[in-house]
Structure 1
Amino acid sequence: MKKKIQFSLVYRDMWQSSGKFQPRKDQLERIAPVIIKMGCFSRVETNGGAFEQVNLLAGENPNAAVRAFCKPFNEVGIKTHMLDRGLNALRMYPVPDDVRALQYKVKHAQGVDITRIFCGLNDVRNIIPSIKWALEAGMTPQATLCITTSPVHTVEYYSAIADKLIAAGATEICLKDMAGIGQPALLGKLTKSIKDKHPEIIIQYHGHSGPGLSMASILEVCNNGCDVIDTAIEPLSWGKVHPDIISVQSMLKNEGFDVPEIDMNAYMEARRLTQEFIDDWLGCFINPGNKIMSSLLLGCGLPGGMMGSMMADLAGIHRSINSILRSKGKEEYSTDEMLVKLFDEVAYVWPRVGFPPLVTPFSQYVKNIALMNLLTMAQGKGRFVMMDDAMWGMILGKSGTLPGKLDDEIVALAKKNGKEFTDADPHTLIPNALDGFRKEMDENGWEYGQDDEELFELAMHPEQYRDFKNGMAKKRFLADLQKARDAKLGSNLTPEKIAEFKHAKADAVVSPVKGQVFFEFQGSSECTPCIEPFIGQHYDEGQTFCYVQAPWGQFVEVPACLGGKLVEIATRQGGKVNRGDVIGYIERDHD
């Protein structure tokens, strides 16, 4: 019999790759004992990435959820692990050193054993400090290689990075195939290369199913020395998520590996509970497209979990481009044609901005550059015209060293715009911030929480945490949930409720997030690249008024409230707004 293979369940990542929200604390508490009873998992992913943000957005305390989910696994010796974005920790933009260091103390105290530390650029300078802090806090630092397919991402490239991370104290290596586009042969060779040099190092493979290569990749890495495989369970396995434990176990067992058996009664119970959570409320926020595998992902290299937000972003740009085409008397693009154009544009942009692995946040940056290029090209303005500070930060080196060479066009454009490149260690560019957050908590009379976990939450997710504390997050979530349920199940609003909404004062169009404002683009030439809404313009109820690009890259649609006539524009095209700022005022046609 071949070596023993362990299985890890990425239960929370199943939801992250499928929809917008996570199971509630009470739901995680219900599913945990069933996962344990399945008997096949030596590890479970309990936290990381955007999980805590979505808890806050739903009005739930993420610290309580993490503690509750970890506790039963801790008690039976199943290791818990989390996803950590290195320089960005648990969010989409850089985090100060003192907040990053506190993270490991808090998460270890909450019951998380292993931290999977990655940098979207595979820059070891963004990972090594976290390895040190994790070790000091008593956690197992699992350093990560973000896998992609490009001319620069070779076995030698990845092996050299692994050597540096292991020398810095990493006791495990994760091959993070976030888009599932890693070629099986390369993954097998890479696994063998690391194991030959570092036989004591545990290697864990994390691969999404999106384009359909994951099972072949699992077989290759296991045959070359991999120790742990990330898996999922129905009804959220496959699609853009992960392979199902049953299929993975069957394949490896047939290959002769020593794999644990699955308690099928418990599997079916976990399956039933997961479907119950979907039917209860989580399914309202699951994009049906994320349940489908697509070989189209091989061409663009974008992670499958991003497809839902990408399609939402594309919709607004699609409408604007078709408006331009109509004004020119040209045939409009279908959704499929637009999607192919976006994929082709990503393929054009990606090598020119240095082949950053397409994982958060760099997948969002590359996708957003491509989206904006499609729009500005339709306007006759060319490419790389609309790029925000986050996109430029990646290009200029503020997030780390890009794997490939920047195109001369991009370098020249940066110099033309007065942009300065840097090779500074990214984390040295960010001042410490905990003292300021301590002051804010003291002024508000907020408790720091057990093991300073509430202080950490404010420092990590300040905007979302403040909304959680003042109750706005819960109110907004319940409104979103009602809207989603009405859309999914058919409106159940009574005439009385409709009348109540119609008579409510709702003429200020308010930004739901901090970000940059983009109105619908109506321009058809370079001379008229964009026409902002005009005073007197009429909007139907619920019609899109504008979009706000949030700091994490997503374009958030802002509706025109109850409709009516535009009487004032408070924020111009490209203007920066905070959550709650007024963008415009619409006078209703009648009360």
Structure 2
Amino acid sequence: MTTAKRKIQFSLLYRDMFQSSGKFQPRKDQLERIAPVIIKMGCFARVETNGGAFEQVNLLYGENPNQAVRAFTKPFNEVGIKTHMLDRGLNALRMFPVPADVRKLMYKVKHAQGVDITRIFCGLNDVRNIIPSIKYALEAGMTPQATLCITNSPIHTAEYYAAIADQLIEAGAPEICLKDMAGIGQPAMLGKLTKMIKDKHPEVIIEYHGHSGPGLSMASILEVCRNGADVIDTAIEPLSWGKVHPDVISVQSMLKHAGFDVPEINMEAYMEARKLTQEFIDDFLGYFMNPANKLMSSLLLGCGLPGGMMGSMMADLTGVMGAINNNRTAKGEAELSEDELLVKLFDEVAYVWPRVGYPPLVTPFSQYVKNIALMNLLTESMDKPRYTMMDNSIWGMILGKSGRLPGEVAPEIKELAKEKGFEFTDADPQSYYPDDLERFIKEMEENGWERGEDDEELFEFAMHETQYRDYKSGAAKKRFLADLQAAKDKAGASGMSLEEAAALKHAKADALVAPESGTVLWEIGGDGECVKSIEPFIGKEYKEGDFFCYIENTYGQILEVPAAMGGKLVEINAKQGAQVSKGDVVAYIQRGE
């Protein structure tokens, strides 16, 4: 008697392919063109159609994200292919927390727009940030896929994750996603975890999401499938592998030869989708993609950072490399090459991570840990102690305002918090963010703005306030076109970069760089007024720990830019309202002799 082969389904992460490769997403017209080709491929039971930062990106180049979601989901809905989205739990579709009434509205809107499944995750795996979203999704008619953010530490064992899965399934989640965002989940552990969940909850669907960065994901796919996984996330060329995801052709071949029942791939359609995707890249998306994201790196195993962060990390390194080497030269020490500095950064991440409580390194906590490490390297070059330069967002994570950290915070950081008068909390993170929809409803009425079909425009405004205003005013489109032209000009240029030229010009000054992309907001004197002209402040002296300006990032979050170890402001590169990219020099500050 022949035993039936176990069936494995595939999901295409079409939008996450771009998210892991660069800054922007395909336009609505491009999504409409690719959808029928994806369907024609015949091998996908699911397609990721929106979520995470995708909708903000539409707004950033002046396109309505609601129309894009409806257009992309429609053809898949018509043929019975499930659509799914990425949902950050307490943070919903952005990088910082969302009021409960806005979170509730999201599921009603997304269900009406044609999204079937919402993949709910918390970067800390705190069930308090996930369980409310499970309830909201079920009430709205969506399928909640509760998510485990996978990482590799002494704390993050199969038993640890299985206990969390039990709570999420009890709360009503019919599906579990193993989100291996850095691709560092060990195959043996993932196989064991899959079996533990399936043995106890055989009816629960398990989907595996693993980035290909350090090269473990193919082994992990085989292990989770052998232990009961049902759906595997995949990509297609020209955006598979690298820091993205394994290609569906390789995954299908491996599983087919391992004895699983997998769908066949229409290769003619695959090549058509490949060609169209390259066309989108050549059109405009490629100008905002970092070539490093096309490469895999075993170095990611050591630091555990998500592969998609490599590009931004390199930009950050470029921004501070000159300052670090200037400090080393002044002390008679040899300058560090980019590779040497990168290894030091990875080592510092590995040092910092357990001491801030082992937060899984996924957005936004991966950025926080990386920023701590990077600033520690800078302060080390200045002979200053670690943790000297940490902003409010980082402290919020450490203090528990985003949820419970998996591990204990190191005594030296607890002592530093005490010195600063900070208090640790175990309160429900949602309690810090009260309902806020009425404010947006009132303003839309005052402006004469339509709330949109199924209140989708109201939701978009409440979720992405800053970006929505810029979209409505046309400022976003104008800024994007200027950025695109600048990117094209830069791509055609050769020789020394602007950052390198600036480093030479200011050999005795520290470059103060933007921690994230966004708008520069100057605030001098602490009176709360953003100054219109900052030229009179050239020559102003700052003390260690002072903040000389703010960056409002593309997610509407306000970040403080510290004046390093203090000194005299000698040049300002970004005036009030200027748009800067992550790692761009905002100003130069020169310490006394």
Answer yes or no: is 1:513 the counterpart of 2:526: no
Contact 1:550 1:556 in 2 (8 A): no
Match of 1:43 in 2: 46
Answer yes or no: is 1:333 the counterpart of 2:336: yes
Post-superposition Cα deviations, 1:150-207, rounded to whole Å, max 9, x if no partner, equal 0000011000000000000000000000000000000000000000000000000000
Which secondary structure state, in structure 2, belongs to the residue aligned with residue 404 of structure 1? Answer: coil
Match of 2:6 in 1: 3
Residue 329 of structure 1 and its aligned partner are, at CA, apart by 3.2
Answer yes or no: is 1:304 the counterpart of 2:307: yes
Residue 353 of structure 1 and its aligned partner are, at CA, apart by 0.3
Contact 2:59 2:471 in 1 (8 A): yes
Q: Residues 92-171 of structure 1: matches in 2 within 5 Å?
A: 92-171=95-174
CA separation of 1:171 and 1:63: change in aligned 2, threshold 3 A: same
Post-superposition Cα deviations, 1:235-288, rounded to whole Å, max 9, x if no partner, equal 000000000000000000000100000000000000000011111111111100
Residue 2 of structure 1 and its aligned partner are, at CA, apart by 2.6
Q: Residues 58-457 of structure 1: matches in 2 within 5 Å?
A: 58-457=61-460
CA separation of 1:250 and 1:335: change in aligned 2, threshold 3 A: same
Post-superposition Cα deviations, 1:270-307, rounded to whole Å, max 9, x if no partner, equal 00000111111111111000000000000000000111
Q: Which runs of 5+ in 1 are unaligned?
A: 492-509, 519-531, 537-544, 558-564, 572-576, 587-591
Which amino acid is 1:413 matched to?
A: L
CA separation of 1:231 and 1:102: change in aligned 2, threshold 3 A: same
Q: What is the root-mean-square deviation of aligned Cα atoms in Å?
A: 2.9
Which secondary structure state, in structure 1, belongs to the residue aligned with residue 146 of structure 2? Answer: strand
Which secondary structure state, in structure 1, belongs to the residue aligned with residue 254 of structure 2? Answer: helix
Answer yes or no: is 1:16 the counterpart of 2:19: yes
Which secondary structure state, in structure 1, belongs to the residue aligned with residue 518 of structure 2? Answer: coil
Q: Structure 2 CA distance, aligned partners of 1:351 and 1:344?
A: 12
Residue 10 of structure 1 and its aligned partner are, at CA, apart by 0.2
Residue 66 of structure 1 and its aligned partner are, at CA, apart by 0.5
Q: Structure 2 CA distance, aligned partners of 1:570 and 1:11?
A: 36
Which amino acid is 1:387 matched to?
A: M
Answer yes or no: is 1:33 the counterpart of 2:36: yes
Q: Structure 1 CA distance, aligned partners of 2:378 and 2:521?
A: 16
Which amino acid is 2:128 matched to?
A: R
Residue 428 of structure 1 and its aligned partner are, at CA, apart by 1.4
CA separation of 1:228 and 1:423: change in aligned 2, threshold 3 A: same
Q: Structure 1 CA distance, aligned partners of 2:558 and 2:208?
A: 28
CA separation of 1:341 and 1:11: change in aligned 2, threshold 3 A: same
Residue 551 of structure 1 and its aligned partner are, at CA, apart by 7.8
Q: TM-score, normalised by structure 1?
A: 0.86
Which secondary structure state, in structure 2, belongs to the residue aligned with residue 127 of structure 1? Answer: helix
Which amino acid is 1:35 matched to?
A: I
CA separation of 1:125 and 1:219: change in aligned 2, threshold 3 A: same
Q: Structure 2 CA distance, aligned partners of 1:517 and 1:325?
A: 30
Post-superposition Cα deviations, 1:74-112, rounded to whole Å, max 9, x if no partner, equal 000000000000010000000000000000000011000
Which secondary structure state, in structure 2, belongs to the residue aligned with residue 32 of structure 1? Answer: helix
Identity %: 75
Contact 1:99 1:459 in 2 (8 A): yes
Contact 1:239 1:293 in 2 (8 A): yes
Contact 1:401 1:423 in 2 (8 A): yes
Residue 470 of structure 1 and its aligned partner are, at CA, apart by 0.5
Contact 2:517 2:554 in 1 (8 A): no
Match of 1:528 in 2: none
Which secondary structure state, in structure 2, belongs to the residue aligned with residue 355 of structure 1? Answer: coil
Q: Structure 2 CA distance, aligned partners of 1:402 and 1:487?
A: 42
More displaced 10-residue stretch of structure 1: 177-186 or 412-421 = 412-421
Q: Structure 2 CA distance, aligned partners of 1:12 and 1:251?
A: 24
Q: Structure 1 CA distance, aligned partners of 2:308 and 2:226?
A: 28
Q: Structure 2 CA distance, aligned partners of 1:291 and 1:580?
A: 27
Contact 2:303 2:346 in 1 (8 A): yes
Post-superposition Cα deviations, 1:22-67, rounded to whole Å, max 9, x if no partner, equal 0000000000000000000000000011101111111111111000
Q: Structure 2 CA distance, aligned partners of 1:549 and 1:407?
A: 30
Residue 386 of structure 1 and its aligned partner are, at CA, apart by 1.0
Q: Structure 1 CA distance, aligned partners of 2:316 and 2:559?
A: 6
Residue 579 of structure 1 and its aligned partner are, at CA, apart by 7.1
Match of 2:508 in 1: none
Q: Structure 1 CA distance, aligned partners of 2:92 and 2:175?
A: 18
Q: TM-score, normalised by structure 2?
A: 0.86
Contact 2:117 2:144 in 1 (8 A): yes
Q: Structure 2 CA distance, aligned partners of 1:555 and 1:295?
A: 32
Post-superposition Cα deviations, 1:519-556, rounded to whole Å, max 9, x if no partner, equal xxxxxxxxxxxxx99549xxxxxxxx999483868999
Q: Structure 1 CA distance, aligned partners of 2:243 and 2:574?
A: 40
Q: Structure 2 CA distance, aligned partners of 1:46 and 1:512?
A: 25
Which secondary structure state, in structure 2, belongs to the residue aligned with residue 386 of structure 1? Answer: coil
Contact 1:67 1:111 in 2 (8 A): yes
Match of 2:506 in 1: none
Contact 2:61 2:476 in 1 (8 A): yes
Q: Structure 2 CA distance, aligned partners of 1:193 and 1:88?
A: 29
Residue 220 of structure 1 and its aligned partner are, at CA, apart by 0.1
Q: Structure 1 CA distance, aligned partners of 2:187 and 2:435?
A: 42
Q: Structure 2 CA distance, aligned partners of 1:95 and 1:224?
A: 36
Post-superposition Cα deviations, 1:415-450, rounded to whole Å, max 9, x if no partner, equal 111001110011112111101111111121111111
Contact 1:309 1:554 in 2 (8 A): no
Contact 1:513 1:578 in 2 (8 A): no
- Alignment size in residue pairs: 536
Contact 1:299 1:343 in 2 (8 A): yes
Contact 1:566 1:584 in 2 (8 A): no
Which amino acid is 1:419 matched to?
A: F
More displaced 10-residue stretch of structure 1: 328-337 or 430-439 = 328-337
Residue 378 of structure 1 and its aligned partner are, at CA, apart by 1.2
Which amino acid is 2:339 matched to?
A: D
Which amino acid is 2:425 matched to?
A: T
Contact 2:86 2:120 in 1 (8 A): yes
More displaced 10-residue stretch of structure 1: 123-132 or 385-394 = 385-394
Contact 1:45 1:81 in 2 (8 A): yes
Q: Which runs of 5+ in 2 are unaligned?
A: 495-513, 524-535, 541-547, 562-568, 589-593
Post-superposition Cα deviations, 1:335-388, rounded to whole Å, max 9, x if no partner, equal 101111110110010000000000001001101111111111111111011111
Which amino acid is 1:513 matched to?
A: G
